[in-house]
Structure 1
Amino acid sequence: MKKFINSPETVVPDYLAGLVAANPDIIALDPSPRVLRRTDIGARRKVGLIAGGGSGCEPLHTGFVGPGMLDAACPGEIFTSPVPDQIIAATRATESGAGTVHIVKNFTGEVMNFGIAQEILAFEDIRPVTVLINDDCSIPDDDESAGRRGLGATVLVEKIAGAAAERGDDLDAVVSIARRVNARARTFSVGLTSCIPPARGKPIYQMADDEMDIGIGISGSPGRKRVPLRQAAEIAGVLLQEVLSDLKPAKGARILTLLSGLGGTPESELYLLYGEVHACLMRAGYDPARALVGNYVTSLEQMGAALTLLELDDEMTELWDAPVHTADLRWGR
């Protein structure tokens, strides 16, 4: 294992210290319990947006705290859910009287710990509303599993709902647009390698050089099937087929495409793959109206890509285009 770390035990606090040092005008860190928050918390009455998850998936959550997106994030240890104390502290810090939204990816630990935090907060008459993200179409939507995982749609919900909260929408409106985005988004992922958690010191699993893993999650989760490695155009076809067959957008629909690397895929390869996706969408009669390409939902240094499609409406498009100013997503200011 070769990584830029001091020790496996301090990876997360060391990362957060550097993140805050590079963006002191946007974010501040409350170290105990560990909460990353906007520096302008309490400046005005607005709906608060909080999210959290295991570290190692950056810039997910921590890179998206700031005007136009999240008010606070609760980073757990590497690939480990945040604890209830973090969620409680973040909610207290961001509660301005307008209500709070918890954006929760559908992973067992996150659902459980956010639920525990909400039960405790209820004694203080603070009752956040949960928006559950479950856009992973590689998992059947049935009663035989914990349900579909929350993947790339998390970024889209955080941006679009964050813009709604920033413009002053009330709690019901923010929750409504967040749930609408989640309902109209789907994600499917492919992996080319595993990843190496610092405390483990070796890959979670092994893959042959001529294989790819389809239907993977984040945090080093393996996929549903190993298949021979294919060319980029074929991989784009696999990703699109899986997403479009599940999402079923209307013909001619405007589509927001998020093509996220998993941490180790070069930007050149991601844009090459996006070009194939874009061309396929055009040929299929869709309007690829917006795109975001890069490493946004990752698994440390894993090589691979995740395709998220959102069927846009006018309000979603307006809110997506609205100004945002975070460490890892900025435009319009």
Structure 2
Amino acid sequence: MKKLINNKEDIVKEMVEGMVKAFPNEIESVNELPIIIRKNKKQGKVALVSGGGSGHEPSHAGFVGFGMLDGAIAGEVFTSPSADKVYEAIKAVDNGEGVLLIIKNYSGDVMNFEMAAEMAELDGIKVNKVIVDDDIAVENSTYTIGRRGIAGTIFVHKILGAAAEEGYSLDKIKELGDRVIRNIKTMGISLKSCTVFTTGKGSFDLADDEIEVGLGIHGEPGTHREKFQNADVHVDHILDKILEESNIQNEKVAVLINGLGETTLIELFIVSNRVSNVLKEKNIHVEKTLVGNYMTSLDMGGFSISILKLDEESERLLKSKSDTIALKTF
């Protein structure tokens, strides 16, 4: 394994320290914990907190900033952050208007974030949550009861972050979040596994002529394996599944073409090109397209496609200004 690390035990600690030192005017850590918060906390708004295991960068700390998250907790690689760390993040960002937790649907994340919310509520902090379950590939999977939360979570961060900046109440943001999540569908494929830092081994094995369809962002199995073909064939298969689930007809959407870590921008733009052409043929109007690494799986090869059905409110909020260390302009 060739990875630019020092001690395996210090990977997350050194990553967080490096982020804070690179962006000292934008973010800071909390009590030397793996918690990133906005440097200048805005008063009079609901605070948004997300997080999860490390290995998905720039998620989640990269989206801390104006118009998106107020705080993010980094667990160890592919490991949910502990409840006490989530609790510390909630306390650090709360300014009296309440805190909304944005949780990807993994059993460990849900359990630890909910425990932290209970702890914070004993301190008198108002806390609510939304649970993202945008992955349409499998219903129940490793570490999950129900569908997994994957790259479509970025749309939730952006839209709810904009709503918080506009002064939405905690209850109103919660209602908006649940509605947005229902309208996001995501599915991906892997061309090769990632290398897990702690073991130095791949998370699974794929033959050179195979792909894994519908995998999870920790290398969890998908629906099946099939022979590797050209980009358009794989894109068409994913789009067919997403559109079948979404029942989108002559409506506005936003699209996210997300790289899993290794896949080049050349490949991602080829995928995006096919997605745009197919949606245009179906009279589906793309109002915004994002292409790049937003929620990775270390160095995994592959991509996912997320499609968000837009209404007037979610479109306006999605297009509003944001400023984070990963997205200086969204």
TM-score normalised to the size of structure 1? 0.95
C-alpha contact 1:278 1:288 (8 A) present in aligned 2? yes
Asked if structure 2 preserves the Cα contact closer than 8 Å seen for 1:33 and 1:85, the reply is no
Question: Quick check: 1:118–1:128 contact (8 Å CA) kept in 2?
Answer: yes
> Whole-Å Cα distance in 1 between the matches of residues 128 and 290 of structure 2?
28
Q: Which amino acid is the alignment partner of residue 285 of structure 1?
A: N
Following superposition, the deviation at residue 248 of structure 1 comes to 1.2
8 A contact 2:185–2:242 mirrored in 1: yes
Distance in 1 (alpha carbons) for counterparts of 2:123 and 2:21 = 33
Q: Distance in 1 between matches of 2:279 and 2:199?
A: 40
2:322 match: 324
Structure 1 residue 33: deviation in Å? Answer: 3.5
Sort the Cα spacing of 1:125 and 1:31 in 2 relative to 1 into closer, same or farther, 3 A: closer
Q: Which residue of 1 aligns with 2:13?
A: 13
**Residue aligning to 1:27:** 27
Partner residue of 1:294? 292
Contact 1:50 1:91 in 2 (8 A): yes
Structure-2 residue corresponding to 1:208: 207
CA drift of 1:141 comes to: 7.4
Partner in structure 1 of residue 50 of structure 2: 51
Percent identical pairs in the alignment equals 37
Name 1:314's counterpart in structure 2.
312
Indicate if the aligned counterparts of 2:66 and 2:324 stay in contact, CA closer than 8 A. yes
Structure 1 outlier segments of 4+, above 2 Å: 31-34
Counterpart residue identity of residue 269, structure 2 = Y
**Contact in 2 for aligned 1:261/1:295 (Cα 8 Å):** yes
Q: How does 1:161-310 map to 2 (within 5 A)?
A: 161-249=160-248, 251-310=249-308
Partner of 1:149: 148
Does the residue aligned with 1:34 lie in a helix, a strand or coil? strand
Shift, 1:118, TM fit: 1.7
Cα offset for 1:295? 0.5
Measured on the aligned residues, the alpha-carbon RMSD in Å equals 1.4
- Judging changes above 3 Å, is the alpha-carbon distance between structure 1 residues 31 and 56 closer, same or farther for their aligned structure 2 residues? farther
Give distance in 1, aligned partners of 2:255 and 2:109: 26
User: Amino acid of the residue matched to residue 137 of structure 2?
Assistant: S
Deviates more, 1:228-237 or 1:113-122: 113-122
Letter in 2 for 1:190: I
Q: How does 1:60-71 map to 2 (within 5 A)?
A: 60-71=59-70
Give me the whole-angstrom Cα distance separating, in 2, the residues matched to 1:83 and 1:89: 10
Given that 2:71 and 2:89 are in contact with CA atoms closer than 8 Å, whether structure 1 keeps it comes out as: yes
| Matched letter for residue 288 of structure 1 | V
Provide the C-alpha distance between the structure 2 equivalents of 1:318 and 1:153, rounded to a whole number of angstroms.
Answer: 17
- The Cα of 1:34 is off from its aligned counterpart by 2.4
How many residues are matched? 328
1:129 corresponds in structure 2 to: 128
TM-score by structure 2 length? 0.96
- The answer on whether the counterparts of 1:323 and 1:330 sit within 8 Å (CA) in structure 2 is no
Hey, what's the Cα distance between the residues in 2 that align with 1:198 and 1:236?
30
Rounded to whole Å, the distance in 1 between the matches of 2:166 and 2:328 is 17
**Structure 2, unpaired ranges of 5+:** none
Q: Which amino acid aligns with 1:25?
A: N
Conserved 8 A contact 2:30-2:89 = no
171-180 vs 236-245, which moves further: 171-180
Name the SS of the counterpart of 1:54 in structure 2: strand
Deviation at 1:140?
A: 2.8
- Taking a change above 3 Å as real, the CA distance of residues 60 and 266 of structure 1, as seen in their structure-2 partners, is same
Q: How far did residue 32 of structure 1 move?
A: 4.0
SS in 2 for 1:75: strand
Cα-to-partner distance string for 1:266-304 (whole Å, 9 max, x where unaligned): 011000111011101111121112100000011000000
Task: Write the distance in 2 (CA, Å) between the matches of 1:50 and 1:123.
Answer: 18
Residue 313 of structure 2 aligns to a residue whose secondary structure is helix
SS in structure 2 of the partner of residue 199 of structure 1: coil
Q: Secondary structure at the match of 1:131?
A: strand
**Contact 2:48–2:68 under 8 Å retained in 1:** yes
